[in-house]
Amino acid sequence: MSPLEQLAKLASYDSATIANAIESFKVRPQVEGYCGLDIRAMMPDYTAKVGYAITATADSTTENYTAPNQLYALYKAIKAAGRPVFVVLKDVSQNRNRSCHAGDVMSSTFQACGAVGLITDGGVRDISGIRQRAPGFGVFAAGCTVSHGMPRIVELGVRVEISGLTINPGDLLHADANGIVSIPLSVADQLSAAADAVLKKEAETVAMVQAPGFKLQDMADKYGWH
């Protein structure tokens, strides 16, 4: 299976199943590796995507910023990646509640350069415009603000933290309406089989509890609950 085929296969599972599958490898604590509930899918019907992180810090509330804007460098990095990527923007604004790091034009440009989605702990805008101009592009953010303010990319290719999830450049991310989970590269090629096992076990459990005459003791016996 080619790398792109592998990514497509992983994208066929929802992120909750991927999170469960990762747990089976015991490569990290079960309370790590995913974003918290303050980052939400701005398009709840977004189909799961998988991509490698291109990270940056961003500021949109500082009026008199003197450092160069790295936006063009970010676009070039996405284009040069040659593989599906998530743009990950860590907000470093003075006032995060008024921040805005992308709208329909920037999202369309990200998508045209090769990104499958944007992840930020700041704000975004133009949600209906993004749907129209960048169909299928995923946006995960803390919320919406109406003005773009003074947006700029401050630093490119740095380790960032988004809602409890540490993300390094090149990390493999899986995202959908459930949220965002980081896939350890060490288990990526084994994850499809593990996800299938998760789905099989879940189907068996659901069939049990929905069967006529189901007794809770049946589940207790199956899973050794006493």
The letter for the amino acid at 73 is A
Residue 157 is classified by DSSP as S
Q: The pTM is what?
A: 0.95
Cα–Cα dist 46/135, whole Å: 10
Write the burial class of residue 2 (CB in 10 Å: 0-12 exposed, 13-18 middle, 19+ buried). exposed
Q: What is the pLDDT along the chain (226 residues), one digit of tens a residue?
A: 788 899 999 999 999 999 999 999 999 999 999 999 999 999 888 899 999 999 999 999 998 888 899 999 999 999 999 999 999 999 999 999 999 999 999 999 999 999 999 999 999 999 999 999 999 999 999 999 999 999 999 999 999 999 999 999 999 999 999 999 999 999 999 999 999 999 999 999 999 999 999 989 988 888 888 7
- Candidates 197, 166, 196, 201; CA nearest to 10 is 196
CA 199 to chain centre: 21
Rg (CA), the chain: 20
Structural fold of domain 3-196: Glucose Oxidase; domain 1 (3.50.30)
Domain range summary for the chain, segments of one domain joined by +: 3-196
